[in-house]
Structures are given as structure tokens and as C-alpha cells.
Amino acid sequence: MSAFMSAFASLVGSLADLLQPFFQTASTAAAIILFTALVRLAVHPLSRAAARGQKARTKLQPQIAALREKHAKNPERMQKALMELHAAEKVSPFSGCLPSLLQMPAFFLLYHLFSSGSIGGTPNSLLSHDLLGAPLGERWHDALAHGGLFGQAGLVYLGLFAVVAAVATFNYGRTKRQMAANPMTPAAGPDGQPVPGMGAMTKVMPLMSFLTLFSVAVVPLAAALYLVTSTTWTAIERAYLYRDTSAAEAVVAPATRGAGSSA
């Protein structure tokens, strides 16, 4: 693990060196943002596939309803028929989970890297790097203890909170507009059965973006930069990929997406 972390630390350092002429003392923070963008770019094809899969699953709902009615007294036969239907249409009920799962290791790598005092038996030099005076290895409570809410580091966090709040507000407003334009029908799972509690979940899900504010406050600043960048990317990506999708489908589709969802 230490060898892997050393390699990852070298990667972040190399990106920072590459960006240093452009961002000077903020080059490591810029490298983290670039790293996050590269991770999101790498999983974007999966996000597109998840969006296509969700739209395909929505189109299958009439056939799923017919199978439910046909095999109502034989649950085993119904499950087999549903599996055959998904296989024939090349639709996976779980494709929406992949983008989130593949992003999680990158987030935890950054979290561990900027929470460790040493890497490979040597002091972690990355902890001395900062963003506009806010150390990348410290947290919001450290900023409050050294300068207060409006100190140099405190202002950096206020800026991050403002970005997260703006993105969360955008997500919430977009979902509310979709709900007004496309009244929802009860959501159904892959077997066509109504998903228990999904009506309430659909109402609450737009508010989940605001929980990123808490995550940004408690993780190291480097990991917070990952969360803010990934959350912003997700908002833009979903607005594009689900631009012609109803509110229920867009919210339920990758309901578990995003680390801090993040991501």
C-alpha cells in the first residue's frame, strides 16, 4: 500500500510541477482539480451508458408491466422472464451504479494521501502545500482555529461552500422545474414492482446535494477540492445527459451516484 501511495503522491507532484508556471503556489490545488477532471472524463463513457440504459429501462416499463400481469402467480417465472427481457434488450438494471463505484477509489486515495503525515517512510511534503493560504491537509475546523471564519483559510472554505451551495441550488431548481413540467408516476424497479419509499426518495434526493457542504467541512481541503470539482462536473453532466428525461427518471436513474456526489 505504501508503494502505491508513493506512486500516487509522485503523480500528484508531477501534475503540480506541470502546472506550477501557470498557478504558482496553488499548483498542487490545481493538480487535484485536474486529477478530478481526468477521473470524471475517464468514467464519462460509463455515465453516458448509464443514461442510455435508464432511458431504455423506461421504455421497457410497458413490457415489464405485461410480464408482471402474465406471471403474477409465479414469481420465479416472472424473474426469469424479466432477466430474459433485459438480456434481449441489452439493458443492465445496475449500470447506473458503475460511475459512482469507479470514482470512490480516487476520492479515498486523495483523502488518505492528505491525511498521512508520512508516505513510504518519509515526511509527506504535500501537506505543506496550500490554496491561497489554506493548507491542503487541514480541515475547516483548523481554518476556524487559525484566523476564524473570515481569515485567509476561512475565506477559501467560504468560497468552496458558496460553489457547493450554488450547484446544489441549481440541481434542486432543475429537478423542481422538471417535476412541474413532467408530473411523475410511481417509480418501478427492474421487476416492475413499485419501489418502496421511492416517492419520498424522489422528493428528498434533490436536497442530497446540500449534504456535500458537510463533507467539504470535515475532510482535508485536498479531498474537499475533489468533492467540489466532482459535484460541479456531475451537475453539468446530468443536465446534459438527462436534458430530455422526466424528473422521476433523472432523479431515480443514478440514485446512488456520486461520492459526496459526488460526487
Q: What is the pLDDT of residue 238?
A: 87
Q: List the chain residues with pLDDT less than 70.
A: 1, 57, 86, 89-98, 178-206, 244-263
Three-state secondary structure of 24-53: HHHHHHHHHHHHHHHHHHHHHHHHHHHHHH
Contact yes or no for 8/78 (Cβ under 8 A): no
Contact yes or no for 234/258 (Cβ under 8 A): yes
Q: What is the pLDDT of residue 131?
A: 95
**CA dihedral of residues 192, 237, 204, 94 (deg, nearest 10):** 30
3-state helix vs strand vs coil in the chain, percent to 5: 70, 5, 25
Contact yes or no for 114/223 (Cβ under 8 A): yes
pLDDT tens by residue, 161-191: 999 999 999 988 887 776 666 554 444 444 4
- Give the separation between CA 130 and CA 132, rounded to whole angstroms: 6
Tell the residue number behind the cell numbers 503522491, with chain if given: 9
Question: Which of 242, 235, 238 is CA-nearest to residue 212?
Answer: 235
> Hey, how many other C-beta atoms are within 10 angstroms of the C-beta on 254?
24
Contact yes or no for 136/127 (Cβ under 8 A): yes
> Hey, how many other C-beta atoms are within 10 angstroms of the C-beta on 2?
11
Q: Encode burial over 57-88: b for 16+ CB neighbours within 10 A, e otherwise.
A: bbebeeebeebbeebeeeeeebeebbeebbee
Grid cell digits, residue 177 = 422545474
DSSP annotation string for 109-176: HHHHHTT-SEETTEE-GGGG-EETTEETT--HHHHHHTT-TTSHHHHHHHHHHHHHHHHHHHHHHHHH
Q: What is the pLDDT of residue 180?
A: 65
Q: Is 23 exposed, middle or buried (0-12, 13-18, 19+ CB in 10 A)?
A: middle
Domain boundaries, the chain: 2-252
In which region does residue 148 sit, left (phi positive, over 0), alpha (psi from -120 to 50) or beta (all else)?
left
* Global pTM value: 0.78
Q: What is the pLDDT of residue 200?
A: 60
**Cα angle for residues 257, 252, 98 (degrees, 5° grid):** 35
Q: What is the pLDDT of residue 257?
A: 44
**Cα angle for residues 33, 118, 131 (degrees, 5° grid):** 30
